[in-house]
Copies of this chain bind each other. A is one copy, B any other.
Amino acid sequence: MDSLNPHALLPQRSAIAEAANVQALGAESWQALMRGPALGDAELKALNRIAWLRSLPAGAMVFSRDQQASKLVAVLCGAVGLGQLRHDQPFHLERTVRGPAWLDLASAWIGGCHVQDARVLTPAQLLELDVDAVREMLARQPAMAERLLACMALNVHSLTGVTHDLMHKDAEKRLAAWLLQLSRRSAEGPDVVALGERKRDIAAQLAITPETLSRMMRQLKLKGLIEVQGYSVRLLDLAALATLAAD
């Protein structure tokens, strides 16, 4: 019943209801979003003053691609998918964002629309900053601009990497690269990665079909590079995987 909440698209009420929570938003969350040197008290206050929180259930839409973007949107916790919702049912995932991270830092600055649809995958807490309020804040906190530029720059680098992989790497290389990237952020050590989403969603992000993903996993298993047990993958030979992933 809560997997698709129609009220999710009406932010006002819940945002107001949650406004009190903003003060409770820890400095660590802001720090994770804003990167750079430790945020000062003044900066944290300025941020908290203009932040709005939204809690959405799995399946809810965060924004849609034709929608005018007026806010910077971040995911505090949970996972949100960026992709395309088609009249033909299933949501076509292109990228998943797990908090804390920016979901759409770009669109609002150019007064355009979000170019992608965003859909909650795991019950998530979102943070929104009205871009006009941010503009005012930047006038008083010029150092904040630098943080935002750095965050968007990371975004650019990430996207550049994705396009490069799509242009030059085949399915096996992309999978190997994806596993290695996951292993770097893995909590269970560098050689065990937990697949945090359905395999079909992983496949969608790698721009292959679930069938091909299954076959590629078997390939890597046969080559002795990985060991698979359900949604846990052990990387047996990081060096060989890196060689394979390199273009």
Which A residues fall within an 8 A CB radius of B?
A: 84, 92, 94, 105-110, 112, 115-116, 135, 138-139, 142, 145-146, 148-150, 152-157, 159-164, 166-168, 207
Q: Which 8 A-B pairs have the closest CB atoms?
A: A145-B145, A106-B153, A106-B156, A159-B159, A166-B166, A109-B153, A167-B207, A109-B150
Give the complex CA separation of A166 and B94 in angstroms. 11
- Residues of B near A153 (CB, < 8 A) are 105-110, 152
8 Å CB contact of A164 from B94, B154, B156: B94
B159, A115: Cβ atoms under 8 Å? Answer: no
- Residues of B near A135 (CB, < 8 A) are 146
- Residues of B near A108 (CB, < 8 A) are 153
Give the complex CA separation of A110 and B105 in angstroms. 16
Give the complex CA separation of A71 and B167 in angstroms. 27
Among residues of B, the one whose C-beta sits closest to the C-beta of A161 is: B115
- A92 CB to nearest B CB, Å: 8
8 Å CB contact of A157 from B107, B161, B164: B107
- A173 CB to nearest B CB, Å: 14
Among residues of B, the one whose C-beta sits closest to the C-beta of A152 is: B152
B148, A115: Cβ atoms under 8 Å? Answer: no
Give the complex CA separation of A148 and B110 in angstroms. 11
- A133 CB to nearest B CB, Å: 13
- Residues of B near A146 (CB, < 8 A) are 109, 135, 138, 145
Ordered by A's residue number, 29 sampled pairs between the chains whose C-beta atoms are within 8 Å are: A94-B163, A105-B153, A105-B156, A106-B152, A106-B153, A106-B157, A107-B157, A109-B146, A109-B150, A110-B153, A110-B157, A112-B157, A115-B157, A115-B164, A116-B160, A135-B146, A138-B145, A145-B146, A145-B148, A148-B149, A149-B149, A152-B152, A156-B156, A156-B159, A159-B159, A159-B163, A166-B166, A166-B207, A167-B207
8 Å CB contact of A149 from B94, B109, B112, B168: B109
- A50 CB to nearest B CB, Å: 16
Interface centre among A94, A139, A148, A153 (most CB of B within 10 A): A153
- A116 CB to nearest B CB, Å: 7
